[in-house]
Structure 1
Amino acid sequence: MFKLVTWIDEKLRWNPDNYGGIVEMNDDIFGSDKLRVYVNHTGNISWEPGFAFTTSCPVDVTMFPVDSQTCSVTVMPWMTSDKEIWFNETKIVVDTLLAHNGQFAIVGSSVPRLNNSVSGNPNNKLIMSSFTLQLKRKPTFYLLNVIGPIATISFLCGVSFLVPSESGEKLTVAITVLLSLTVFLGVVDDNLPKTSDSIPYFGELRFHVDK
């Protein structure tokens, strides 16, 4: 979030002709290179203070690894009603503003405008913008390294019934396949999202196998 702050400093005026035609420069204030201002030769100083913040959204991993997520961030002006500031509906330019991610793909976005009445003054409203992204997990890695091996091992469980009883290896094959499935699900468990709000079906499958 950025807000432009400007003021005039009489001591920071100069004639561009005396300084190689320089009409504006970038300088730091308060002794920190993180607080930089634009200084014009007329003494006009512009400062755009800003900050970086981290936000999060709840994740439902029940359908992992073919799950979809919706994340929203609501921005609202503080102590400024619709009489003083107005937000227009816009859209998120995902091609230029967001970095490519190998785990999720952005399948949709929206920025609806919301109104919230000011407490004690119903004639004034706060204009809010809710930035929403629809994310879909890219399942290729999990299909090849999780679902594929589990499906193959599960298929071998049925194959064990085809082993002739007189060969003496029927029980050995069945136990070997079961142990392989149990060990592999233990490895899969390390790659599952760690959350207690929703349990992935793979986690429930591992629980029943261990049981």
Structure 2
Amino acid sequence: MKWDRNLFKDINQVSIPSQNLWLPDVGVMNGKSSADFDFSAGTRSRLKVENGSVTWMHGAILDITCPLDVSFFPFDYQTCYLILTPWNSDIQQLLLVPYQQGSTVDNEFLPNSNVSEWEIQDVKFQQKLYTDDSNSTYQYISIAIHLKRQPLYFIVLVLVPFSMLSVLACLIFTLDDTGDRLSVAVSLVLSMTMYVVIVSSNAPRSMRTLPVLGCLEGLLIYEKDNVVDCSSKDKIALSTIPLNNVI
């Protein structure tokens, strides 16, 4: 649709309801809850006269599945894929072309990016084709979203206190024999168990790899168990009085 802008007071674009336009049957292939776009989010479209193109600015909140590799948690990087594809239109009927190429990330523009657990590092687009059983060729766009976890929360509230407790556990044997070494060792083990619960509550339940942090915590707790065992043996030995000294 085109018109002579000189005949209409130099108007080169108009805004019309999106319900009056044809909308593509685009959906999310790896969507978790709903695979279709909510087209009601974009209610208006702009129609430009220069080339007759229609610009439809549409926003959506998408819920997708993303496998995580937590081997280096909390200093991990993740890559999530968003796959967009037309459901019924082949490549002869609908061609998907990314509007932008290269890096499209600006974390300063994103709302609440400074308090989010994740930081978007990069977003890359890739066009791919596949053929079904009827030899019809379809297209889909794979959007790779590279994420970086913000580790400050886990450093301040987990790693630093956990390391301090480990140092304190090594200093238990510096206490004299009259001190209650066993109770201090048990208190340290219980405190470290609390931090293990914090880490496990933030880790995904479907993880397929064991985090290095989890292995470290397990080894340190095993060390503290040995400290408790040695402290209890020392206390039993101190409380035992040889019979040959009793006259």
Interval of TM-score (by shorter of Structure 1 and Structure 2): 0.5 to 0.7
Change (3 A) 1:97 1:130: farther
Match for residue 125 of structure 2 among 106, 111, 120: 111
One-letter amino acid matched to 1:68: Y
Matched, 1:59 2:73: no
| Equivalent residue, structure 1, for 2:206 | 196
1:106 match: secondary structure? strand
Q: Which residue of 2 aligns with 1:133?
A: 145
Shift of 1:177: 2.1
Residues 41 and 59 in structure 2, CA contact (< 8 A), matched pair in contact too: no
Counterpart of 1:155 in structure 2: which amino acid? V
The residue aligned with 2:188 is 177
Taking structure 1 as the reference length, what is the TM-score of the superposition?
A: 0.64
CA RMSD of aligned residues (A): 4.4
Q: Structure 2: 5+ residue runs without aligned partners?
A: 20-39, 226-247
- Distance in 2 between residues matched to 1:85 and 1:23, nearest whole Å: 26
List gaps (5 residues or longer) in structure 1: 1-5, 9-14
Structure-2-length-normalised TM-score: 0.57
Residues 47-105 of structure 1: per-residue CA shift (max 9 Å, x gap): 84856251322223343211221111122234222586364793341127972353223
**Residues 106-153 of structure 1, C-alpha deviations (whole Å, 9 max, x = no match):** 3343222222124322xx532322110221212122112110100110
Aligned to 1:75: 84
Distance 2:188 2:205 in 1: 29
Matches within 5 A, 1:1-211: 26=15, 35-36=43-44, 48=56, 50=58, 52-56=60-64, 57-78=66-87, 79-81=89-91, 85=95, 87=97, 90-95=101-106, 99=110, 100=113, 102-121=116-135, 125-165=137-177, 167-186=178-197, 188-189=198-199, 191-198=201-208, 200=211, 205=217, 209=221
What amino acid does structure 2 have at the position aligned with 1:117? T
Query: What is the DSSP-based 3-state SS (H/G/I as helix, E as strand, rest coil) of the residue aligned with 2:140?
Result: strand
Alignment coverage as a number of residue pairs: 190
| Distance of 2:144 and 2:207 partners within structure 1 | 21
Q: Distance in 2 between matches of 1:48 and 1:113?
A: 21
Cα distance in 1 for residues equivalent to 2:199 and 2:169:
21
Q: Deviations over 1:12-51 (max 9, x none)?
A: xxx867xxx8786646587x996335589xxx9x684856
Q: Counting strand residues as a fraction of each chain, which structure ranks higher?
A: 1
Distance in 1, matches of 2:123 and 2:46, equals: 34
CA displacement, residues 140-193 of structure 1 (integer Å, 9 cap, x when unaligned): 22112110100110111111012222x33322332232233234444x247523
1:128–1:184 Cα change, 3 Å: closer
* Alpha-carbon contact 2:42-2:58 (below 8 Å) kept: no
In structure 1, what residue type is equivalent to 2:78?
Answer: Q
Q: Check 1:97–1:118 CA distance in 2 against 1; reply closer, same or farther (3 A cut).
A: farther
